[in-house]
Structure 1
Amino acid sequence: MTTLRFVEHLRELVGDVDVVLSDIWGVVHNGLEAFPEACAALQAARGEGRTVILITNAPRPADSVQRQLRKLGVADDTYDAIVSSGDLTRSFVAERNGQAVFWLGPQRDNSIYRGLDAVFAPLDQADYIVCTGPFDDETESAEDYRGMMQQARLRNLPLICANPDIVVERGDRLVYCAGAIAELYRELGGEVIFYGKPHRPIYERSLAIAQALRGAAVPLDRVLAIGDSVRTDLAGAQGFGIDCLFVTRGIHSEDFEGIDGLDAVQVRELFGHPPRALTRELRW
């Protein structure tokens, strides 16, 4: 029988944990305002000597993510470091000097290119695509880009997805992210390189930073991931071999109504392999 463990407090799970890898959007804030209890929980974990790394699929560098967190009311002492999919994407672009990129995404993500000698080009002249999201995520979905992706497929352009999320919370709404367009391109047979959760590079960088901060190696069984997405947070943690605390108030909230009454088959349908524990929202 597959059982689910529910906890009310983070402190119930971290007695044997040295490093916490916490998702941001949906766990620490909802895009409009911070969750004070979640911030306090991570601060308390740090206060007891744990290292907290915020791990995010934001298609922007870590310093840009930090500025956004400050605006939303997330204090710097909530975490030790930030690792973003934007940073990993920047590394890809930096290694391809001279190649032309077609950038698909909103202007607010332009910090992903800060300090890089990126050469921009229209789709029919580009060597590859960097997708940070729809041009207008307030009104568009992946389907609006089918024609563009078909043109890119004809030229066999690789698409670099700087945010593997399909959707994200913005207040009480869900808006589409770069991952939705990337998945459409894959369905059309296009080559996609993903940076961010659930893929290994972002976990490898996060653990390397945590180990440098702690001055010692960190066994994977002393690492806890926290997130609200089955597809990215849970799958990424499990694929990397670390436990996950799953927050049910986020993008899957409707799926978890009455979850305590689910049978083993329904649990497997929702999760595949269940997380270490579930909680409604992050609190100490």
Structure 2
Amino acid sequence: MHSEDTPAAVPLHSGIAALADRYDGYILDLWGVLHNGVEAYPGVIDCLDRLRTRGKRVCLLSNAPRRCAGVAEKLAGMGITPDHYDHLMTSGEATHDALADPPDEWHAALGSRCLHIGPPRDADVFEGLPIEMVDDPARADFVVNTGIDSFDETIADYEAILKSCAAHALPMVCANPDLVVVVGTKMAICAGMLAQRYEELGGSVRYHGKPHAPVYRRCFDLLGIQDRARIAAVGDSFRTDVAGANAAGIDALLVTSGIHLEELATAWGEHPDPARLAAAAAASGHTPQGAIPRFHW
């Protein structure tokens, strides 16, 4: 029994084995869950194999600001090949789709001249689109923000370009709502952090990817599982993975060794203190239905 002042405990599980029979479909985050941007985490490929052997359907869902083909290639380089999952969806793919076929009046009014904030590696978002790329905010109709060029950059490095875009009242499309990501053993800021600053400067932003509903609807269509109670989303972020799953009406499983590792004050791959985990969930406003220390069987 919990008092009103005590956050509800989050059920802790040692791995996916304890939960496998509860779900038919899994929506899996990539960074912080399957890999660290450099290599797959120990036990990940074995776990994916075991899920597939049991007939589970797996849709990978990443807030990577690149299209699916490029992300699939990167995964394959880490040993996570297409025979380990059924489908793949990215926020970059969702961004491309929204630019190609505007889902609303806001996107339809963007115009044709685009300024890209982000590295050349994300340029596939614009592939095949009738867009003129420009590098001067004065010449642009809108901005597509895919993130930082180098993983050691900070918001301060982008303050000038963000202020210039805001001064020209350019609408911004954000291709990755994440604020931070784990790269190896370090944290790097993401496009979501730049977009958040842009909103502070008065800019108008639309986001594609988790935790926003459209990308989950795409995953549900791909999985083809009607009963939402039989689908679980596995991720390492309260703000995107848990919030997105909760809003979409499916269970969320939090991997505690991802971006919240320091906050939970635990060693990688080990269970956090239950009280600290409950407090972190309560503080975020997003409570997972369960937690695992890392994604393994």
Report if TM-score (shorter chain) is over 0.5: yes
2:228 is aligned to 220
Equivalent of 1:237 in 214, 238, 245: 245
2:104 is aligned to none
Amino acid at match of 2:85: Y
Instruction: Give CA deviations for 1:61-108 in whole Å, capped at 9, x if unaligned.
Output: 111100000112212222101000011111122236961111110011
For the Cα contact (< 8 Å) 1:42–1:78, is it kept in 2?
A: yes
Ranges in structure 2 where 5+ consecutive residues have no aligned partner: 3-7, 102-107, 267-271
Instruction: Give CA deviations for 1:191-222 in whole Å, capped at 9, x if unaligned.
Output: 110001111111011111111xxxxx422111
Post-superposition offset of 1:19? 1.1
Post-superposition offset of 1:109? 1.1
Q: Work out the CA distance in 1 between the residues paired with 2:13 and 2:285.
A: 20
Amino acid at match of 2:178: D
Is 1:193 aligned to residue 234 of structure 2?
Answer: no
Q: Work out the CA distance in 2 between the residues paired with 1:37 and 1:75.
A: 15
2:141 is aligned to 127
Change (3 A) 1:142 1:281: same
Q: Work out the CA distance in 1 between the residues paired with 2:276 and 2:124.
A: 46
Amino acid at match of 1:44: R
1:86 is aligned to 92
Q: Work out the CA distance in 2 between the residues paired with 1:168 and 1:19.
A: 25
Per the alignment, in what secondary structure is the counterpart of residue 22 of structure 2? coil
Q: Work out the CA distance in 2 between the residues paired with 1:268 and 1:43.
A: 30
For the Cα contact (< 8 Å) 1:267–1:274, is it kept in 2?
A: no
For the Cα contact (< 8 Å) 2:112–2:130, is it kept in 1?
A: no
Per the alignment, in what secondary structure is the counterpart of residue 214 of structure 2? helix
**TM-score, structure 2 normalization:** 0.88
Amino acid at match of 1:126: A
Is 1:60 aligned to residue 66 of structure 2?
Answer: yes
Per the alignment, in what secondary structure is the counterpart of residue 12 of structure 2? coil
Change (3 A) 1:21 1:263: closer
Equivalent of 1:257 in 252, 265, 270: 265
Per the alignment, in what secondary structure is the counterpart of residue 176 of structure 2? coil
Q: Which moved more, 1:37-46 or 1:14-23?
A: 37-46
Change (3 A) 1:84 1:273: closer
Correspondences of 1:1-284 after superposition (within 5 Å): 1=2, 2-95=8-101, 99-121=112-134, 122-134=136-148, 136-211=149-224, 217-257=225-265, 259-262=272-275, 266-284=279-297
Change (3 A) 1:67 1:268: closer
Q: Percent identity?
A: 36
Q: Which moved more, 1:46-55 or 1:250-259?
A: 250-259
Per the alignment, in what secondary structure is the counterpart of residue 144 of structure 1? helix
Per the alignment, in what secondary structure is the counterpart of residue 52 of structure 1? strand
Per the alignment, in what secondary structure is the counterpart of residue 59 of structure 2? strand
Q: Work out the CA distance in 1 between the residues paired with 2:44 and 2:278.
A: 31
Per the alignment, in what secondary structure is the counterpart of residue 238 of structure 1? helix
**TM-score, structure 1 normalization:** 0.92
Change (3 A) 1:99 1:264: closer
Ranges in structure 1 where 5+ consecutive residues have no aligned partner: 212-216
Q: Work out the CA distance in 2 between the residues paired with 1:131 and 1:87.
A: 14
Q: Work out the CA distance in 2 between the residues paired with 1:249 and 1:125.
A: 44
Instruction: Give CA deviations for 1:239-258 in whole Å, capped at 9, x if unaligned.
Output: 11111110011111011126
Q: Work out the CA distance in 2 between the residues paired with 1:248 and 1:79.
A: 22
Q: CA RMSD in A?
A: 1.9
For the Cα contact (< 8 Å) 1:98–1:119, is it kept in 2?
A: no
